[in-house]
């Protein structure tokens, strides 16, 4: 079962929105449709992908500001994040105004997600990991056969997510990375919310915040 992916940086924050699809059925989803809806739809058309749902890692503006409008336009459900992020989603209109984004609407996901859930995408299945710390309701999507994870703002190449936002927690963030992400395997490559891809093995060796040497 083959998962295909195109990473599409959107918004002034250059957030990595991922267009993911099942090559066998050409059914797909956007992960973190943060904005620039017309551009996202053009990329789906380019690949011949039919969007079945929208997946959301967490409720921050640059990851979720386009979700409500895109879901309404396509008539598709929203899955994720974990319900602890509802307060962030409710704050989208104010955040959009504050950061000069186009107007953004709050939404209630059709399906909240929790640790151990799975998301179906055509014939593919993504595993859901609840990884609080950056936000309390942050989730990660992992496709084991492709050895690929979509981690939002939990982990970056050489860095980790901020934990100084409301209800953020540094200890929870480090625990999420080391106890939920790293055990998936060093070979797992990940798409972060911003910047280049990396692997869990690379971050275990060299990330100054969560490398094994800090916890030996």
Please enumerate in sequence order all residues whose Cβ is within 8 A of that of 213, keeping only pairs 6 or more positions apart, or say none: none
User: Structural domain boundaries of the chain?
Assistant: 3-215
**Bond into 81 cis (ω within 30):** yes
The CATH fold of domain 3-215: Metallo-beta-lactamase; Chain A (3.60.15)
Is residue 185 within 8 A of residue 147, CB to CB? The reply is yes
pLDDT in tens for each of the 216 residues of the chain? 689 999 999 999 999 999 999 999 999 999 999 999 999 999 999 999 999 999 999 999 999 999 999 999 999 999 999 999 999 999 999 999 999 999 999 999 999 999 999 999 999 999 999 999 999 999 999 999 999 999 999 999 999 999 999 999 999 999 999 999 999 999 999 999 999 999 999 999 999 999 999 997
Is residue 11 within 8 A of residue 62, CB to CB? The reply is yes
């Amino acid at each position: 079962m083959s998962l295909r992916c195109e990473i599409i940086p959107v918004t002034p924050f250059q957030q990595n929105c991922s267009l993911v699809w099942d090559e066998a059925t050409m059914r797909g989803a956007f992960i973190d449709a943060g904005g620039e809806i017309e551009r996202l739809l053009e990329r789906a058309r380019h690949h011949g992908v039919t969007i079945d749902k929208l997946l959301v890692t967490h409720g921050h503006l640059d990851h979720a500001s386009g979700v409500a409008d895109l879901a309404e336009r396509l008539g598709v459900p929203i899955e994720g994040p974990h319900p602890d992020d509802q307060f962030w989603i409710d704050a989208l209109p104010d955040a959009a105004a504050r950061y000069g984004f186009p107007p953004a609407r709050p939404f209630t996901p059709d399906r909240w997600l929790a640790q151990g859930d799975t998301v179906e995408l055509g014939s593919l299945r993504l595993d859901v990991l609840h990884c609080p710390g950056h936000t309390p309701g942050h989730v990660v999507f992992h496709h084991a056969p492709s050895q690929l994870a979509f981690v939002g703002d939990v982990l970056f190449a050489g860095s980790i997510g901020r934990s100084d936002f409301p209800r953020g927690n540094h200890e929870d963030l480090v625990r999420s990375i080391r106890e939920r992400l790293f055990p998936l395997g060093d070979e797992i490559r990940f798409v972060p919310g911003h910047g280049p891809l990396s692997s869990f093995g690379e971050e275990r060796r060299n990330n100054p915040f969560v490398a094994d040497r800090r916890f030996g």
